Amino acid sequence: MEIEITEEQELLREMSARFIESNCPLVAVREFMDDKRGITTDYLTQTAELGWYSLLVSEEYGGGQVSESGISDAAIVAEERGRLVQPGAFISSNLVALAISEFGSEDQRSSLLPDLMAGASIATWATADTSGNWDLGAGVTATRSENGVVLDGTKGLVQDAHIADSILVTANLNGSPIHLIVPAASSGVTVKPLESLDITRRFGRITFEQAEFPLELALGFPDDGIRLWERLTDVAAVLTVAESVGALSYLFDMVVEYSKDRWAFGRPIGSFQSIKHTLANTGLLLEMCRAMSAAATRAVAGNDDSASEVASMAKAFVGKNCIEASHECFQVFGGIGYTWEHDQHLYFRRLAVDAALFGEPAWHRERICKIHEL
């Protein structure tokens, strides 16, 4: 099969799905839209009990997987979250947990991981600049100082920046990367919440002005900066793709049902070839996105030689085609889809933002060319 789902993984899926359906269905997602924080402490601690934030942390440091690969476990959760466009920075905070587990110091592991895994603190990754450039260290420069490094510049598209306790910031130190985990409440760090196309999640901008940090806050420094960045980019791609596939699956089911229920000219609109063919094309895109999501999960979870390439292929393919598919769904819904009360726009928004997060399709295509040394 494309991905072998173990019994334990199936259980994780079921429990996650059940939690989401009963605690955070689309009505609740809409309530979160008006909430100042965009998410509640209850949501975080309850999902932490399901293990959502421990999956990418090694057991040695208190993490827990349900299969041989925490990445494929996390992809399962991401897909379920996507189905009902869940709030919160699940992907971003898991990436930070992964970075600490694989590249952090003993001190970082013991001081940060327990609260992160318990949902008691929120971490996020600040990587792109304000224009949405995902290149390594974009937007923020680091300079060595007597006591450590000084950061200057601004990061954009940082999820849950407004409520994050810690920020993993990837900066450019004389052409080399440096990653630091810094407390959000540090001197010289300003967080600016932003409004977003995706109203189910929150994004912000983080400005560093002469913000000085000791080198102890760095991870994988000085040798593993690139490796850490590649790793985070790959895992971010896998999880974002899984989330998009979940979202598109749900949207597609919704639109297929609608085409059977809605009648015009004396028959269900789903009996018109124009609608049937549109939906068949959309179904093809969804099936291909599912296949690519499975391929990327396999490759990255299995640490394949081609892991980065397959992750980027999936991110580029799914990003582009989920947007296209969501437009086809919109068209079949017709005017009702343009109303605030109909849920389709939550997906229309989510899929467009997912396509850009952690690298838009063009960025990943260029990454593939570079991997092949073209």
Determine which residue in the list 5, 191, 291, 352 makes contact with another protein, applying CB under 8 A: 291
The answer to whether 7 contacts another protein (rule: CB under 8 A) is no
Give the single-character DSSP code of 129. B
Q: Given 3-state DSSP classes, what are the helix, strand and coil percentages for the chain, each rounded to the nearest 5?
A: 55, 15, 30
Determine which residue in the list 85, 178, 217, 295 makes contact with another protein, applying CB under 8 A: 295
The answer to whether 365 contacts another protein (rule: CB under 8 A) is yes
Contact 343, 200 (CB under 8 A): no
The contact mask relative to another protein for 153-192 (x = CB under 8 A, - = no) is ----------------------------------------
The contact mask relative to another protein for 315-334 (x = CB under 8 A, - = no) is -xx-----------------
- State the Cα–Cα distance between residues 120 and 111, nearest whole angstrom: 13
Cβ distance to another protein smaller for residue 32 or 258: 258
Site for another protein in 341-360 (CB under 8 A): none
Smallest distance from the beta carbon of 13 to another protein, in angstroms?
Answer: 17
DSSP symbols for 49-95: HTTTTTTTS-GGGT---SSS-HHHHHHHHHHHHHHTT--S-HHHHHH
Determine which residue in the list 294, 300, 332, 355 makes contact with another protein, applying CB under 8 A: 294
Give the single-character DSSP code of 133. -
Distances in Å between the Cα of 276 and the Cα atoms of 233, 252, 282, 312 are 37, 13, 10, 31
Smallest distance from the beta carbon of 302 to another protein, in angstroms?
Answer: 10
Cβ distance to another protein smaller for residue 192 or 277: 277
Helix (H) or strand (E) holding 347: helix 344-356
Helix (H) or strand (E) holding 283: helix 273-301
Determine which residue in the list 84, 248, 310, 325 makes contact with another protein, applying CB under 8 A: 310
Size of the site for another protein (CB under 8 A): 43
Site for another protein in 252-281 (CB under 8 A): 256, 259-260, 267-268, 270-273, 275-277, 279-281
Smallest distance from the beta carbon of 272 to another protein, in angstroms?
Answer: 7
Cβ distance to another protein smaller for residue 97 or 310: 310
Phi, psi of 173 (to 5 degrees): -110, 100
* Binding span for another protein by CB under 8 A among 44-52, 196-204, 215-223, 361-369: 361-369
The whole-angstrom distance between residue 287's C-alpha and the CA centroid of its chain comes to 21
* Gyration radius of the chain's alpha carbons: 21
Determine which residue in the list 284, 303, 324, 339 makes contact with another protein, applying CB under 8 A: 284
Tokens encoding 262: 């809605």
The answer to whether 298 contacts another protein (rule: CB under 8 A) is yes
Cβ distance to another protein smaller for residue 263 or 338: 263
Tokens encoding 128: 């792109």
The answer to whether 72 contacts another protein (rule: CB under 8 A) is no
Determine which residue in the list 287, 303, 336, 339 makes contact with another protein, applying CB under 8 A: 287
The answer to whether 290 contacts another protein (rule: CB under 8 A) is yes
Sequence-ordered list of residues with C-beta below 8 angstroms from that of 2, at least 6 positions apart, any chain: 290, 291, 294, 295, 298
Contact 16, 10 (CB under 8 A): no
Smallest distance from the beta carbon of 274 to another protein, in angstroms?
Answer: 10
Phi, psi of 68 (to 5 degrees): -70, -20
Give the single-character DSSP code of 175. T
Neighbours of 361 (CB within 10 A): 18
Contact 179, 229 (CB under 8 A): yes
Judged by the rule CB under 8 A, the positions of this chain that interact with another protein are 1-2, 256, 259-260, 267-268, 270-273, 275-277, 279-281, 283-284, 287-288, 290-292, 294-295, 298-299, 304-306, 309-310, 313, 316-317, 362, 365-366, 368-369, 372, 374
